[in-house]
Each structure stands twice: as structure tokens, then as C-alpha cells.
Amino acid sequence: MAFFPEGQGRVKLLMLYIIKRFRTPVSREQLYTALAAVDGATYFEACQLIAELENEMYLIAVPARDQHLLYLTDRGEELVETFEMELPRSVRDEMIGYADEHRDEVRLANNVFCDALPKPDGSWEVKLALLEREGAVFEMELRVPDAKTANRVRENWVKNADGIYLETYLKLNGSEE
């Protein structure tokens, strides 16, 4: 990618920079939202530029459940490190603030999966997963008696997925004392 301080090259650099600042993979929609919040780029422009960044091997899209998550490649990291200082300080500060403010919700949305389905007998099946780049590192299916319990399980999973995973892992591994 040829770097230009304005135009499409600037928007591409902004995209790569915001992904770097999130420090977690992002969906296309999350990237569009972040870019619109700090730069005002249009949805259609962003779609085209993400595809170009993938073709140029600065980004990679990895399937994760019902979407693709965008990761910086080593080449993308190198480009950001080389040119990030070309972005105005005010823009970098705004992106850092946006990423810091939204990092947890982005991570939860992309790494913590939860779904609940009603069963014919009135019970509910709740599927929970904790996802990483390689796929699910933890999956669990529960059968609960009603919708109220299913919603409570979902809410608690979203809030406490990391802790539940760690506690379960330690107990199963025999490491907990």
C-alpha cells in the first residue's frame, strides 16, 4: 500500500491503527463504527478499503461463529509502526480514547458467545463458548428449566466468562487448592 497522508491511504492507515489500539480482533461492523465515530468515513468506502487491506495482506479475516474477525498481519503491524506518527496527534488521541472506551465490549462481543434455544418440553438449551483465534477454547451446553433461568445464565456468562472458564479449568485440571 502506498501511503498518502490524505485520501484512501489515510483511511487505510486509520483502520489499521484502530485495530492495533483495540488490542483484540474486531468485526467489520465494529471497525466501521469506530471509523465513523472518529473519521466520518462512509460505510461503502470502508467496505472497499477493508477488502483492499485484506488483498494487500495487511489484514486477515478469520471465521468465528457467525462472522469474520479482522486481525492485523505482521505486515500490517509493520506498516502501522512505520506510519502512525504521520497521523495527527489529535486523531491518534481520539482513536486511543475510543478504543480504550470500547475495548471490553468489543472483546466480549467477539470472544464470548452465548445462545439459548427453547425445547419442545418447555426447557431451554443454553450454549456457551469462549472463543480465541484458533476457535473455541471452552464450550458448554446446559439444559435449564425455563426462559428466566436461561436469561440469567446468559447474563452471568457474559459478565463472568473468563472467571468461569478459569475456575472450571482449574477444577478439572486438579490445580485448584
22-52 residue pLDDT tens: 988 888 888 988 888 877 778 888 889 999 9
Which residue range is the domain that position 129 belongs to? 111-173
State the Cα–Cα distance between residues 88 and 72, nearest whole angstrom: 21
Q: Is 105 in the same domain as 115? A: no
Predicted local confidence at residue 140, as pLDDT: 92
| 94, 38 Cβ separation under 8 angstroms | yes
Give the start-end residues of each E strand in the chain: 26-27, 59-64, 67-72, 112-118, 124-132, 135-144
Within a domain: 78: yes
Within a domain: 1: no
Residue 133 binned pLDDT confidence (cut-offs 50, 70, 90): low
* Mean pLDDT in residue range 132-146: 84
Lowest mean pLDDT among 19-28, 62-71, 138-147: 62-71
State the Cα–Cα distance between residues 26 and 17, nearest whole angstrom: 12
* Mean pLDDT in residue range 127-132: 82
Q: Is 52 in the same domain as 127? A: no
Predicted local confidence at residue 141, as pLDDT: 93
| 64, 131 Cβ separation under 8 angstroms | yes
User: Is 115 a residue whose pLDDT tops 90?
Assistant: no
Count how many domains the chain has: 2
**Domain end among 90, 110, 130:** 110
Q: Is 27 in the same domain as 86? A: yes
Q: Is 69 in the same domain as 33? A: yes
